[in-house]
C-alpha cells in the first residue's frame, strides 16, 4: 500500500466523519428535551442545540414570590441544558464511532 492510497483513504474517512457530524448536529437541532423544577411548577422545552422552545409556568405559582419563580425557571433551564448536553455528547460520540480514531480523539469533533 502506498502513501497516496493511505492519504485518499484518510480523506474519505474525514469526509464521512464530517458528514456524520453535520447530519447529527442537524438532528440535534430538531431533538427536544423537557425539564422541570418545583415538582412540575415550571417546565422548559429546549432543543439539543440549546434553543429554548417553551417555558410553562403553573398559574398557581404566579401568586408566589418573583424571586422563587426566577429560581425555578433558572433551575429548569439548567436541567434542560444538562439533558441536552448528555444527548448531544452521546449522539456525537456515535457519529464519530467506527472512524478508526484513537481513543480520546473522537471527542474532539
List the one residue out of 97, 82, 96, 95 whose CA is nearest residue 48.
82
Rounding to the nearest 10 degrees, give the CA dihedral for residues 83, 88, 90, 95. Answer: 170
Domain spans of the chain, in order of start: 32-99
Residue 79's SS3 state is: helix
Lowest mean pLDDT among 5-14, 65-74, 84-93: 5-14
The model's pLDDT over 10-59, given as tens digits with 9 standing for 90+, comes to 888 888 888 888 999 999 999 999 999 999 999 999 999 999 999 999 99
Which CATH number does 32-99 carry? Answer: 3.30.1310.10
430538531: which residue's cell? Answer: 30
Average pLDDT over residues 83-101: 81
Amino acid at each position: 500500500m502506498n502513501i497516496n492510497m493511505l492519504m485518499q483513504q484518510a480523506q474519505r474517512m474525514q469526509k464521512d466523519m464530517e458528514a456524520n457530524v453535520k447530519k447529527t448536529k442537524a438532528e440535534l437541532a430538531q431533538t427536544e428535551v423537557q425539564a422541570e423544577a418545583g415538582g412540575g411548577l415550571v417546565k422548559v422545552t429546549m432543543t439539543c442545540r440549546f434553543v429554548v422552545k417553551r417555558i410553562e409556568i403553573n398559574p398557581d405559582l404566579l401568586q408566589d414570590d418573583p424571586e422563587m419563580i426566577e429560581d425555578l425557571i433558572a433551575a429548569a433551564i439548567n436541567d434542560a441544558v444538562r439533558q441536552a448536553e448528555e444527548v448531544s455528547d452521546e449522539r456525537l460520540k456515535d457519529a464519530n464511532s467506527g472512524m478508526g480514531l484513537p481513543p480520546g480523539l473522537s471527542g474532539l469533533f
